[in-house]
Amino acid sequence: MKFLADPPRFLFFTGKGGVGKTSVACASAIELAERGRRVLLVSTDPASNIGQVFGLTIGNTVTPIGAIAGLSALEIDPEQAADAYRERIIAPVRGLLPERELASIAEGLSGSCTTEVASFDEFTNLLTDDGLLTTYDHIVFDTAPTGHTIRLLQLPGSWTEFLDAGKGDPSCLGPLSGLDKHKAVYAAAVAALADPERTRLVLVARAQASALTEIERTHAELAQIGIRGSYVVINGVLPASAGTEPIAVAVRNRESAALTGIPAAIAALPRDILELKAGNMMGIDALRTLFRTDRDGPGQLHAVVDVPDAPLGQFVDELEQTGHGLILCMGKGGVGKTTIAVALAVALAERGHAVHLTTTDPAAHLVETLHGSLPGLRVSRIDPDEAIRDYREHVMATKGKNLDADGRAALAEDLLSPCTDEVAVFRQFSQAVHESRHEFVVVDTAPTGHTLLLLDATGSYHREIARQMGDGMAFVTPLMRLQDPALTKVLLVTLAETTPVLEAEGLQQDLQRAGIQPWGWVVNNSIAAAHPETPFLQARAASEATQIDIVVARADRVAIVPLLADEPIGVDRLAALTALATVS
């Protein structure tokens, strides 16, 4: 493996959801430990399942992996990290500021953006802790820092002044003065990330155009802030041992085309290709096989998996009964949310309904997936750059109107926060929510973390309106419309794989805490639902059974979409997707 040749102290694994990032990180940690190195494996992913992978309870304390000498693991708990982070920010000013201002700061530090920054804060300590650096030869991170989080920590400006009422409001970072003592730690962490002698960034993808485009974007974004030294791992490529049945040939051809068209910026990077395995990467023995090439594959046929008869078309039958409404497709990146959203929009439009199909995902490809037009179907995109620009101009013209030069400078800097990005997108999202009272609005949402930030903005707006209106006034906010099951239907899209299902479960819990009950789940690209005939694909189908059972137990409604020989691109194929049954 090129990416494990002469590795530096820190290895970060990043990529779209569902590409096998955790499996690659865990297998790498095992490989390094079995070379005689002392290794700490760290997950900063809210949906971390490294404990499941190793069959242990790990949590937020360093836990030795008993079966592998020299290997320990740690899962950073985002909520605990956020609690500690809030206290660290508020403690220095408690007693100095009025309770009302402290409550305002705490409110500003209550969202998912703060949770993400708090997790970053935790692993910056891992990058700079002298004790850890002498204890371990390598620290392997499952889920690298995102570019916008690092940019946030590199914001210029004063680290020594309060952002009080005269200087603008606190951001998700809290008052910058509260962070001043951490400035040196952050600077040292960013320097370590930018030093290829100390840090190697491993971009994990599948042999799919969307996943490759995603790592190209990540590579470019991180390069802009000085983080280089990247390697590419293409995971889960269908091996020759998968056989020659039509679906295997079609998948292999699609993967070959994607790799042939790999974006130029990442084509030049060192690259490794890992074959798809017949079974799940659960347990140490399975992980040891990830970097091996299996020439023969499973040698016997497996029992046919009993997949529920749950066609996507049944969802359309039920969704159209109200004649209008908001349909939100949510889930990890890479699970096919865009395809499902476009397929539902096409089906509703073909039944004569007015449909507005839109997306909050910067990486979405609605037009490419639709690949045509249809009467009654309007397609748009909530452009984050445009929304952010308009919002910043609005705030500076209103809130910043009466501030002095220093105050306007501080407010302008605060508006560079990623939290601002989500609030700006929320304003346009609210318009789509309003439209759903008169027509169908189908929204392809951004990957899970960004969706939660958007919901945080929706909740914050609701609380502010409720505070201003008081008990005697009637009002309706976007959050209240999202909580109305007669108007809003949330679909959780997943794959029949451990990590996507875990993250969808976590998203369902987050939605339920916000008073939103998911309407249904869609299991996409199911090999089991395609009824494979060769031993390799039957083994893969058998590995899906447990995850499908979990989804059926969690969901009010389930649709299962089989893996198709032809990609569902274009109106005709998308229409066929909602007419497809899951059993023959």
Residues known to be catalytic: 18, 20-23, 45, 499
CB 490 within 8 A of CB 516: yes
Instruction: Write the single-letter amino acid at 217.
Output: R
> Euclidean distance between the first and final Cα of the chain, in Å?
42
Residue 41 has which token pair? 């494996």
Q: Is the dihedral of CA 17, 23, 25, 26 positive or negative?
A: positive
- The DSSP secondary structure of 466-518, one letter per residue, reads HHHH-TT-----HHHHHT-TTTEEEEEEEESSHHHHHHHHHHHHHHHHTT---
Residue with tokens 């959050």: 479
Q: How many degrees, rounded to 5, is the angle at CA 559 between CA 279 and CA 508?
A: 85
Q: How many CA atoms lie within 13 A of 422 on its CB side?
A: 27
- CA 50 to CA 43: how far, in whole Å? 7
How is the beta sheet containing 488-495 ordered, strand by strand?
A: 377-379, 355-359, 440-444, 325-330, 488-495, 520-526, 558-562
Cα-atom radius of gyration of the chain, to the nearest Å? 24
Tell me if residue 232 falls in helix, strand or coil.
strand
